[in-house]
Amino acid sequence: MTSEQRPSRLVFWGAAWAILVLAAGGGLLYRQAIRPPAATPPAVELDPGGDVVEEALRLAGIDSLAARGRWVDEVPGVDLAALPPARREVFLRFANARRCTCDCGYTLAGCRNFDASCETSAPSVAALYDSVRAGFIRIADGVRERPARGG
- For the cut 90, the answer to whether the pLDDT of residue 127 exceeds it is yes
> How far is the C-alpha of 29 from the C-alpha of 21, rounded, in Å?
12
For residues 69 and 128, membership in a common domain is answered with: yes
CA–CA distances in Å: residue 3 to residues 14, 15, 103, 150 = 19, 19, 94, 100
Tell me, yes or no, whether 148 lies in a domain: no
- For the cut 80, the answer to whether the pLDDT of residue 142 exceeds it is yes
Cβ count near 108 (within 10 Å): 25
Q: How many CA atoms lie within 13 A of 147 on its CB side?
A: 10
Tell me, yes or no, whether 53 lies in a domain: no
β-bridge mates for residue 107, sequence order:
99
For residues 75 and 129, membership in a common domain is answered with: yes
Can you state the angle between helices 121-134 and 85-95, rounded to 10 degrees? Answer: 150
For residues 29 and 68, membership in a common domain is answered with: no
Tell me, yes or no, whether 27 lies in a domain: yes
Average of per-residue pLDDT across 97-120 = 88
pLDDT at 42: 60
Tell me, yes or no, whether 151 lies in a domain: no
For residue range 66-86, list pLDDT tens digits in order. 667 788 888 988 999 999 999
Q: How many domains does the chain have?
A: 2
Are 34 and 26 a contacting pair, CB within 8 Å?
no
For residue range 9-21, list pLDDT tens digits in order. 778 888 888 888 8
For residue range 26-78, list pLDDT tens digits in order. 777 777 777 666 666 666 565 666 666 667 666 666 655 666 778 888 898 89
Give residue 95's domain range. 63-134
Better-scored residue on pLDDT, 122 or 64:
122
Q: Measure the N-to-C terminal CA separation of the chain; round to a whole number of Å.
A: 99
pLDDT at 27: 77
